[in-house]
Amino acid sequence: MARKIAILGGTGAEGTGLANRLARAGEHVVIGSRDAVRAQEAAAKLRGEIGGSAQVEGADNAGAAAQCDVALLTVPFAGQAALLKSLKSIWKPGTVVIDTTVPLMAAVGGAPSRMLGVWQGSAAEAAAELLPAGVPIAAAFHNLSAELLAGDAPVECDVLVCSDDEKAKQVASELATKIPGVRAINGGKLENARIVESMTALLIGLNIRHKVHSAGIRFTGLPL
């Protein structure tokens, strides 16, 4: 049976954008939301936009997580811990979790171009503490513009993938390269997510100063 990919918090801009790209690449996507009806509406809208045989369903977050082999976390940082606590007994062993969360100050009413300090070092490491044993995590997709993900044009941006688990790193890298234009780059250990997450705050600042929503990043000088 083909794998299913849950996008938890998938009715937000980043989640919907990732659902769009992965469904266009032929993946079977389950959008998760606190509200199953909203998730189903978002899924129907995406199926309409993509057309053809796009496989996009909607479910509540727990329902989406329970049935999937890979789960992307795309909830705002303010909701990340509560969601993961609620899913502790839900995960299938071996599910690969891919965290895209950025701990922006916006989570507590501050600026989206500033970061919160997270005790564990990063939102990804905080998430890792809330997963059961046997559910590995990678951090990826932080630096992709939601606006660009919503379309189907190539995205001029690299995706850094950080993980302490080889399988999780491999799955996240493979999914990243399904987005036209994107290169997956090995970002090293999960602890490096703190840097990659903070680069999103920098990109948001660049977007604000340039009045765009499309800032991204490419690495140079690497034998890729």
Least distance CB 33 / a second copy (angstroms): 28
79 vs 205 by CB, closer to a second copy: 205
209 contacts: CB under 8 Å, gap ≥ 6? none
DSSP letter (8 states) at residue 110: S
156 vs 165 by CB, closer to a second copy: 156
Q: Counting contacts by CB under 8 A, is residue 126 touching a second copy?
A: no
Place of tokens 């509200």: 35
Tell me which of 61, 113, 122, 173 binds a second copy, using CB under 8 A: 113
72 vs 161 by CB, closer to a second copy: 161
Helix or strand holding residue 171 (H, E): helix 166-176
Helix or strand holding residue 61 (H, E): helix 61-67
Q: Which stretch binds a second copy (CB under 8 A): 44-52, 66-74, 78-86, 188-196?
A: 188-196
- Residue pair 159/175 in contact (Cβ under 8 Å)? The answer is no
Tell me which of 30, 171, 182, 185 binds a second copy, using CB under 8 A: 185
Output phi, psi for 145, to 5 deg.
-65, 125
Q: Which stretch binds a second copy (CB under 8 A): 7-15, 50-58, 125-133, 152-160?
A: 152-160
Mapped onto helix, strand or coil, the DSSP state of residue 148 is helix
Q: Is 135 exposed, middle or buried (0-12, 13-18, 19+ CB in 10 A)?
A: buried
- Residue pair 77/10 in contact (Cβ under 8 Å)? The answer is no
Q: Which stretch binds a second copy (CB under 8 A): 35-43, 46-54, 132-140, 179-187?
A: 179-187
76 contacts: CB under 8 Å, gap ≥ 6? 9, 12, 101, 106, 107
Tell me which of 30, 126, 175, 215 binds a second copy, using CB under 8 A: 215
Least distance CB 174 / a second copy (angstroms): 18
Q: Counting contacts by CB under 8 A, is residue 93 touching a second copy?
A: no
Q: Counting contacts by CB under 8 A, is residue 160 touching a second copy?
A: yes
C-alpha distance from residue 89 to each of 18, 36, 123, 133, 139 (Å): 26, 19, 21, 11, 22
Q: Counting contacts by CB under 8 A, is residue 192 touching a second copy?
A: yes
82 vs 212 by CB, closer to a second copy: 212
Q: Counting contacts by CB under 8 A, is residue 145 touching a second copy?
A: yes
Binding site for a second copy (CB under 8 A): 113-115, 145, 148, 156-157, 160, 185-188, 191-192, 194-196, 198-199, 201-203, 205-206, 209-210, 212, 214-223
